[in-house]
Amino acid sequence: MKGESLYTVFSKALSNEESAIKYFEKMRWDGKVISPYDPTSKVYKCSNGKYKCKNTGRYFDVKTGTPLANTKLPMTKWLLAMFLFQADKGGISSCQLSRMLEVTQKTAWHMLMKIREFAARINEKDSCLSGEVEIDETFVGGKNKNRHKDKRVERCQGRAYKDKVPVFGILERGGKVIAKVVPNIYGATLLSIVNKYVEKESVVYTDGAGYPGINIDYEQRDVDHSKHFYGTTYATDEGEIIVVSTNGIENVWSHFDRMMLGTYIRVSKKHLQKYIDEFVFRFNTRNFSDSQRFNLLLRNIA
């Protein structure tokens, strides 16, 4: 599929239901149909896109054994939903998707949440970060000044988050980002996430916030924003260029804010992680073409 144009991929996958099924079959089996019940069994092709496993005598189709197994929606709608989901870096709302697919808003919302689950699985693959990483938190929620007087929260400035949801992010410079909703921003909570996803002895850039114990396994370099110090660049005696800043992860948050404010506007705490997973998937595949990102989604679903 590498090198195919966006139009070619789109027309192959979505021209009709039969084409959509064949495209998904190619993503799943790449030309050789394998029984989900017995991978060693011979497979017979039947009508209506069905296959029969010789060893078990059971029938199946391309969706059997995948998260789409019980869906009643046509594959053309699923593929179009996935295509639109990954194509716009600002995301797509369930209202807009429902109009394009000619389904209810509730159906479109459930489809998008399902696709976000697929994206989350991809995010967790090869999620170990190393080298130089930047860590920082952001807080999701409306600004106090924009609330009605009787809904404003006192003493919620700065790192207070009693009216917001804290999100912790880790960016590998030039690489992937990991972002998680966290219950609090205590050092132990955040350090446990760093320990899970960042290789030992990596260089960790922070904004001056306390991360007790981080110096044990990592080399920590700080930019103390509370003292209006936002970064510096210098060369070591060996000629290595060191850039001390957290501008990379802050740039990630700025893109995330634009997605949330521009498309989704208000997201409940219960579902926030799924929207973050969507953003992380799109950010980590930022150098992919639309067709490559679309095929990546399909392969991982299959």
What DSSP state is assigned to residue 30?
Answer: T
Beta partners for 203?
A: 132, 219
pLDDT at 164: 85
Amino acid at 36: P
pLDDT at 159: 56
Q: Would you state the pLDDT for residue 230?
A: 62
The crossing angle, in degrees rounded to 10, of helices 17-29 and 6-14 is 110
d(CA 178, CA 133): 11
Residues forming a β-bridge with 43:
53
Provide the residue-wise pLDDT of the chain in tens; the chain has 302 residues: 555 665 566 666 677 888 899 899 999 998 899 999 999 999 999 988 899 999 999 999 999 999 999 898 999 999 999 989 998 888 899 999 999 999 999 999 999 999 999 999 999 998 899 999 999 999 887 665 555 555 555 555 555 556 689 999 999 999 999 999 999 988 889 999 999 999 999 999 988 766 888 888 998 888 876 655 566 766 666 666 777 788 899 999 999 998 988 888 778 889 999 999 999 999 999 999 888 999 999 998 87
Among the residues of the chain, which ranges form H helices?
A: 6-14, 17-29, 75-87, 94-101, 105-124, 187-197, 214-217, 247-259, 272-284, 290-301
Task: Please tell me the number of Cα atoms within 13 Å of 225 on its side-chain side.
Answer: 12
In the numeric block, the tokens 């960042």 are attached to 198
CA geometry: angle 81, 85, 86, nearest 5 deg = 125
- In the chain, the amino acid numbered 111 is M
At CA 233, angle to CA 229 and CA 234, rounded to 5? 125
DSSP 178: E
Question: What is the model's pTM?
Answer: 0.84
Alpha carbons 16 and 39: distance in angstroms, whole number:
29
Alpha helical stretches, state H, 38-186? 75-87, 94-101, 105-124
Specify whether the CB–CB gap between 164 and 171 falls below 8 A.
no
Task: Name all domains of the chain by residue range, CATH numbers in brackets.
Answer: 132-266 (3.30.420)
φ/ψ of residue 203, rounded to 5: -90, 125
Angstrom distance (rounded) from CA 107 to CA 255: 28
Do residues 138 and 272 make contact, with C-beta atoms less than 8 angstroms apart? Answer: no
Q: At what angle do helices 6-14 and 75-87 cross, to 10 degrees?
A: 160
pLDDT at 33: 94
